[in-house]
Chains A and B, each alone.
Chain A
Amino acid sequence: QVQLQESGPGLVKPSETLSLICNVSGGSIRSYYWSWIRHPPGKGLEWIGFIYHSGSSEYNPSLKSRVTISIDTSKAQFSLRLTSVTAADTAVYYCARWSGGYYFYYDNWGQGTLVTVSS
């Protein structure tokens, strides 16, 4: 069973860059899409973007100017960078595997990590 684990700072100052890493274990990072999703307090889930093992990526247009997702298959990890953060970026951040054949879905998630944007 594949396992995902997020890591990174829990506190980021306004205007700085949020950086998270997701480590993938128990399965291959190849042949899947890997996503970042966030859950702001009191709100619904928001898709940030995903990356394929080849490195091709796609982002939510609402965040596209500030987001970069990258992947290192040799380390079995992928990462998120979100620049110029504000309090609105405070959320639990999840990494997840986008899987399937005809239909796609999130079948494996990390436990989530709370990132607070505050001075």
Chain B
Amino acid sequence: EIQMTQSPSSLSASVGDRVTITCRASPSISTYLNWYQQKPGKAPQLLIYGASSLQSGVPSRFSGSGSETDFTLTISSLQPEDFATYYCQQSYTTPQTFGQGTKLEIK
């Protein structure tokens, strides 16, 4: 089973800040990495697939990068609606696995 480790587990930031969330895979997953945003009481929503491709309709302030074992999700300028929990997920092989989540809170 591929292990996905996110850091940090929680993060406080202000509107307008640039934020980076990290996801590490073990072992390597090439670029088979997705990012999701989840708000309380809601289902996760796809932000990024293939490590760096922006899902249709997702604002361009979200971007993803990385390959093999190290990946990042960056929000270039935080907006109020971005405060949520973010999950990475590997789609390289089954069983599919998710990171434990990063909760982004308002400072």
> Are A and B co-members of a single complex?
yes
- In residues 61-107 of chain B, which contact A (Cβ within 8 Å)? 87, 89, 91, 94-101
Residue A94 CB within 8 A of the other chain? yes
- Closest residue on chain B to residue A102 by CB atoms: B50
| Set of chain B residues within 8 Å of A94, measured between Cβ atoms | 43-44
Stretch of A13-21, A22-30, A40-48, A81-89 on the interface side: A40-48
Tally inter-chain residue pairs, CB-CB below 8 A. Answer: 59
- Please give the residue numbers on chain A whose beta carbons come within 8 Å of chain B beta carbons, in ascending order: 43-47, 58, 60-62, 94, 96, 100, 102-107, 109-112
Judging by beta carbons under 8 Å apart, are B99 and A105 in contact? no
Set B32, B87, B99, B101: member contacting A103, Cβ < 8 A: B32
| Set of chain A residues within 8 Å of B97, measured between Cβ atoms | 47
In the assembled complex, how far is the CB of residue B80 from the closest CB belonging to chain A, in whole angstroms? 23
In the assembled complex, how far is the CB of residue A66 from the closest CB belonging to chain B, in whole angstroms? 14
In the complex the two chains form, what is the Cα distance from A111 to B31 in whole Å? 28
28 contacts between A and B (CB under 8 A): A43-B100, A45-B89, A45-B98, A45-B101, A47-B94, A47-B95, A47-B96, A58-B94, A60-B95, A94-B43, A94-B44, A100-B91, A103-B31, A103-B34, A103-B49, A103-B53, A104-B49, A105-B34, A105-B46, A105-B55, A106-B34, A106-B89, A107-B46, A107-B55, A109-B44, A109-B45, A111-B43, A112-B43
